[in-house]
């Protein structure tokens, strides 16, 4: 996904939704009986552009969908892949579920922590990577598995990591 790097998000009225994002949200709304159903997708639309969902976006989404900000926030904070804090340019999701756990997850996780210098929920100082655990990636025959942005990898060994991480600038 193309992200416009750090455009001004906020004007005096609050959050500036990009016109095409609003259009995309409105298009999503047509898929459902109620506008509320487009909430998760709307959050993802904002996140695709900004990497995360800034506070001001909650109100903006609420306005587009015609629902209460509290209702948007209660959804935004429920789902693990909606980020309500700034994250790095790339999201590293490490699968910590049973198959991976039984097939080298500990070593892989340790290698990630060592190489990135961060633990779960943290972002590297250069804003490049954020590390998070994820539910079973459905790649158990490729355990241990991880996902960087939209790409799933597995099996990944500690030795694979430097080159792999290097390819995400």
Partner 1 sequence: MSQPTDNQPIANQRSSVRYRSRLMQSEAERHADTHPLTWRLRDDGAVVWLDEHLHKNGYQSVRKALDAGDPQAVIATMKEANVRGRGGAGFSAGLKWSLTLQGDDIPRGYLICNADEMEPGTFKDRLLLEQQPHLLIEGMILGAYANNAFYGYIFLRSEYVQAAQVLNRAIDEAREAGWLGANINGSGFDFDIAVHTGAGRYICGEETALLNALEGGRANPRSKPPFPGQSGAWGKPSVVNNVETLCNVPGVVLNGADWYQGLSGERTDDGGTKLYGVSGPVENPGLWELPIGTTGAELLDRARGMRGNHQLKAWLPGGASTGFLLPEHLALPLDFDTVGKEGSRLGTGLMTVVPQAQSMVSLMRNMEEFFARESCGWCTPCRDGLPWSVKLLLALEHGEGEPGDIELLDKLAADCGPSLTFCAHAPGAAMPLQAALKHFRHEFEQGVKKPRGEMHSTTMTHEQ
Partner 2 sequence: MAIIHVDGQAYEVNGADNLLQACLSLGLDIPYFCWHPAMGSVGACRQCAVRQYKDADDDQGMLVMSCMTPAKDQTRIDIEDEEARTFRASVVEWLMINHPHDCPVCEEGGHCHLQDMTVMTGHDRRRYRFSKRTRRNQNLGPFIGHEMNRCITCYRCVRFYNDYAGGTDLGAFGSKDNVYFGRYEEGTLESPFAGNLTEVCPTGVFTDKSHAAHYTRKWDLQFAPSICHQCAMGCNISPGERGGSLRRIENRYHGDVNGYFLCDRGRFGYGYVNRSDRPKVPEWRAQLDQTPTHLEVDAALDHITDALRHARRVIGIGSPRASLESNHQLRELVGDKHFSTGIEAQEQACLERMNHLQRTAGLPTPTPREIERHDAILILGEDPVQSAGRLGLNLRQAALARRETMGEKLDVPTWDAEALKTLGQDSYHPLHIAWPTTTELDSVAIRHSLAPEEIARLGFAVAHIIDPSAPAVDRLDTATRETAQQIADDLMAAERPLVVSGGTLTSEAILEAAGNIAKALSMHAKQAGLVLIRREANSTGLALMGGQPLDWALDELAQGNADALVVLENDLYQRLPAKQVDAALARADIRIVLDHQRTPTTDKASILLPAASFAETSGTLVNLEGRAQRFFQVFEPAYLRPEARLHASWHWLHSLAVSLRGEPPKAIHLDQATQACAEAYSSLAGMAQAAPGADHRIAGLPLAREPHRYSGRTAMRAHLNVNEPRPPQDPDTPFAHSMEGYSGFDRPRQQVPFAWAPGWNSPQAWNKFTDEVGGHLRGGDPGVRLIQPAPGHQGHYHQPVQSAEGTNALRALILPRLFGGEETSSLAAPIQQRTEQPSVILSADDAQRLALKTGDRVNIGEGTTLPVYVQPDWPTGWAGLPAGLVAGVLQGATLTLSAGDKP
Residues annotated in the binding site, as ranges? 95, 100, 136, 140
User: What are the tokens at 119?
Assistant: 């633990």
Site residues (CB under 8 A) for partner 2, limited to 64-123? 68-74, 77-78
Instruction: Output 34 or 114, the one with its CB closest to partner 2.
Output: 34
Instruction: Output 58 or 147, the one with its CB closest to partner 2.
Output: 58
Instruction: Output 32 or 138, the one with its CB closest to partner 2.
Output: 32
153 binds partner 1 (CB under 8 A): yes
Largest CA distance in the chain: 53
Contact 88, 138 (CB under 8 A): no
Instruction: Output 88 or 142, the one with its CB closest to partner 1.
Output: 142
From the list partner 1, partner 2, none, pick the one residue 16 interacts with, judged by a Cβ distance below 5 to 8 Å according to partner type. none
From the list partner 2, partner 1, none, pick the one residue 112 interacts with, judged by a Cβ distance below 5 to 8 Å according to partner type. none
Please report how many Cα atoms fall inside a 13 Å half-sphere around the Cα of residue 142, on the Cβ side: 14
- For residues 86 to 125, the per-residue mask of contacts with partner 1, x marking binding by CB under 8 A and - elsewhere, is -------x--xxxx-xxx----------------------
- For residues 21 to 60, the per-residue mask of contacts with partner 1, x marking binding by CB under 8 A and - elsewhere, is ----------xxxxxxxxxxx-xx----------------
Phi/psi of residue 99, nearest 5 degrees: -60, -40
Q: Which of 17, 25, 39, 58 binds partner 2 (CB under 8 A)?
A: 58
- Chain contacts with partner 2 (rule: CB under 8 A): 33-34, 55, 58, 68-74, 77-78
């Amino acid at each position: 996904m193309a992200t416009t790097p750090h455009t001004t998000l906020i004007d005096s009225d609050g959050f500036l939704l990009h016109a095409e994002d609003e259009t995309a949200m409105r298009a999503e709304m047509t898929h459902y009986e109620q506008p509320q159903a487009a909430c998760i997708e709307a959050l993802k639309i904002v996140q695709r552009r900004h990497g995360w969902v800034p506070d001001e976006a909650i109100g903006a989404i609420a306005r587009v969908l015609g629902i209460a900000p509290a209702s948007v926030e209660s959804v935004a904070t429920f789902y693990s892949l909606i980020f309500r804090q700034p994250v790095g340019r790339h999201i590293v999701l490490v699968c910590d579920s049973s198959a991976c756990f039984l097939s080298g997850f500990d070593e892989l996780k340790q290698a990630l922590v060592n190489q990135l210098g961060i633990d779960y929920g943290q972002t590297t100082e250069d804003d490049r990577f954020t590390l998070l655990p994820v539910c079973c990636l459905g790649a158990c025959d490729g355990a241990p598995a991880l996902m960087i942005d939209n790409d799933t990898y597995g099996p990944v060994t500690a030795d694979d990591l430097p080159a792999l991480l290097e390819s995400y600038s």
